Amino acid sequence: MTQRVLGSGAFGRVHMAYAAKTGRQFACKVVDLNAMAAQVRGDSGGEKKSKFFSKRPQLFAKRKSTKAKPWNAYAPVLKRIEMQKREAIFLATLSHVSSHFSSYFQDQRRGG
C-alpha cells in the first residue's frame, strides 16, 4: 500500500496499492473502526477526529483495562461492521476487464 490517497470518507481512506508479486495496481480501502464505533455510539462529539491515521501502528502496545460493557451495547457497532463486510462481498461480485477486487479484513487494535 502506498501513501497516495485516492479518496477519503467519514470512516476511512482509499490508498493506491500494488501487488508485490505481479506489480498489479489496485485500491485499498482502510476503515477506521474506532471512528466508526464512536459515531455509532454517538460519542464522537462532532468536532473530535480519530487519530487512527495520524499515528504509526503500535502492534504490541499494552491495553488499559476497562469495565466490560453489556453485549447489547455493541450491537449497533457490530451492525455497521456487518455493513462493511456486505459491501466487500458485493464488490467482489463485480466483474470488469480493468477491475479486480479482493477483500481482506484485519482487526488492528491500538493501545492507550
Reported pTM: 0.53
Residue 37: closest CA among 90, 97, 78: 78
How does residue 55 score in pLDDT terms, banded at 50, 70 and 90?
A: low
Alpha helices in 13-100 (DSSP H): 33-41, 75-93
38 and 15 belong to one structural domain: no
Residue 50 lies in a domain: no
Work out the pLDDT band at 47, boundaries 50, 70, 90: very low
The C-alpha atoms of residue 5 and residue 14 are separated, in whole angstroms, by 6
Residue 14 lies in a domain: yes
Whole-number percent of the chain with pLDDT over 90: 2
Task: Look at residue 77 and tell me if it is in a domain.
Answer: yes
Residue 5 shares a structural domain with residue 20? yes
Enumerate the known binding-site residues for ATP.
Answer: 29
Same domain, 22 and 10: yes
**CA pair distance 78, 87, nearest whole angstrom:** 14
Q: In this structure, is residue 7 part of a structural domain?
A: yes
Do 1 and 38 share a domain, yes or no?
A: no
Domain that holds residue 81: 32-42+71-96
pLDDT band at 64 (very low <50, low <70, confident <90, very high): low
Domain assignment present for residue 48? The answer is no
Cβ neighbours for 77, distance < 8 A, ≥ 6 positions apart: 36, 37, 40, 41
Domain membership flag for residue 108: no
Mean pLDDT of the chain: 72
Q: Is residue 86 part of a domain?
A: yes
Residue 78 falls inside a structural domain: yes
